[in-house]
Amino acid sequence: MDINKLYNEWLEKAVADSDLIKELEAIKGSEDEISDRFYRCLEFGTAGLRGVIGAGTNRMNIYTVGQATQGLSDFLNKNFENPSIAIGYDSRIKSEYFAKEAAKILAANGIKVYIYDELEPTPCLSYAIRRFGTSSGIILTASHNPGKYNGYKCYDSNGYQMTDDAAEETYAFIQKVDYFTGIKTMDFDEAVNQNLIEYIGEETIEAFLDEVQKQCVNPGICKKADLRVIYTPLNGTGNKPVRKILKRIGIDEVYVVPEQEYPDGNFPTCPFPNPEIKQAFECALKMTDEIKADILLATDPDCDRVGIAVPDKNGEYVLMSGNEVGAMLLNYILSQKKAQGTLSTNSIAVKSFVSTDLAEVIAKKYNCTFKNLLTGFKYIGELITNLEAEGRADDFVMGFEESYGYLAGTHARDKDAVVGAMLICEMAAYYKTQGQTLVDVMNNIYSEFGYYCNTVKSYQFEGAAGMDKMEKIMNSLRENPPAELAGMPVTYIGDYKTSVAKDIESGSKTKIDLPKSNVLQYKMAGGNGLIVRPSGTEPKIKAYITAIGESRENALELADKLISDADNFMED
């Protein structure tokens, strides 16, 4: 690949967006800057595209989006007789622009487009695919990444992200498309007039909210509890739908963080709009000086993840992890349905395998079948779809991932912070009527089942050199697996790339019956363990720690040792 030749070609031809030409002119003569933009093409995988917004083949721009959309169009026209697609977008920089450009390309290729008339959460896109019976779906979002990122996620006709096979076939079409000469397009208004593009209106959002509201376990409890909520949509898509659903279930006191209420892809008060980190709650926490809320809610920009902070017995607000909220929600839903006599005898709950094993122990108490799946909510969506095909949709209790993604109900096939926010608030209201905070509830769960310390540490690797280093680290771990972690012998190694699990003591090997993935799992005695996994959407490796102890102190001490070992793996 001749990087300078590519650069000069873009400088000459990338005239559709003046921002790109300005950027390319500004980096003229800078080898590092040019190389970073052109050393590779953004990869199209099962998560679609994700990258920094800007000029070049390694950036999110009108041309990389156009190439992907033309390739997707070719894939759809090959595999469907009369293909159609639903499109959504979030508050990020150029999301609406990219969404409408994609709609123009799809329409020019004879594909019927349904596009939301304003920004909406990712789960609303998943819902629309099934409501309109489309062949595929696209949402322009980079989830919780910093403001310089955007992304392009593709969905299949079931409403979850593309399978590996479909993504691979689509990518083959994409690679044949020239950025500047290979993309069909047409005028947006003309496509609307020809009924090739149709807006998705408010009635679809209301129908979505109707389905969400059906997931209430104790209708009316929020009104009874006089729950007080501080909410931040983090300048994203959650503002309208989350407030609407909370009002529907009887929560009148919802105070929205004013600095973070309206859409703004620059995220001026929260550079990392991720409800997993404390910074996302800083503005909400300041409001608690005046408003003593029962719960603080934060949804990420595309409103598929939700985080919470709740007061402890001293009135200090504590951030709760995705694992803790997932375990509490599962315990709440199962216990209440059991008490009401509405729990299916064939109930099933599910989580990503990197999420807390505490959920599996809770499910066992209620005779609920439990499944562990690979990271990626599409696998949970696929399980729901299979249950639905078997006439067992009502058996699905909930699914979750430790990264603050939850889903109850079958209205969507992706994580949904609208239903998550609703159920979390309902749960908080129920326990408030029992004289308990969610901190009390979590401590009671730990007292019953043991203290599970689940934590994630991310290791960042930027640029081309970073990608190489990530590959070397994973290869090194495969070739030289650790014999012990935190002073404990490793008893099990699972390699999800080779689909082989090895029992160290016996030497026996078994097949891992899940799709292949670049993941390594190590287990020790007592349920303790470490999982190492490169992110599928960001230049980082994540280490997932499980430390189980009789006390919080004991578990935290063990977790620190496991983190120290993980740190050593990431060094040269």
Q: Quick one: how far is CA 260 from the chain centroid?
A: 20
**Phi and psi (nearest 5°) for 113?**
-115, 130
CA dist 44 and 136 (Å) reads 15
How far is residue 404's CA from residue 380's CA, in Å, rounded to a whole number? 14
For 553, phi and psi rounded to 5 degrees?
-60, -45
Q: Which residue has the tokens 């064939």?
A: 346
CB-CB contact of 562 with 479 (8 Å): no
93 Rama class: left (phi>0) / alpha (psi -120 to 50) / beta: beta
Cβ proximity of 419 and 407 under 8 Å: yes
Produce one character per residue of 44-54: b if its CB has 16 or more CB atoms within 10 Å, e if not.
bbbbbbbbbbb
**Sheet with 529-534, edge to edge strand ranges:** 451-460, 540-549, 529-534, 520-523, 492-495, 500-503, 509-511
Burial class, 406, CB count within 10 angstroms (exposed 0-12 / middle 13-18 / buried 19+): buried
Give me the catalytic one of 91, 135, 136, 143.
143
Active site residue 506: no
Q: Which residues pair with 297 in a beta bridge?
A: 231, 308
Rounded Cα distance between 223 and 294, Å, is: 13
DSSP 401-427: ETTTEEE-SSS-SS--HHHHHHHHHHH
The catalytic site residues sit at 143
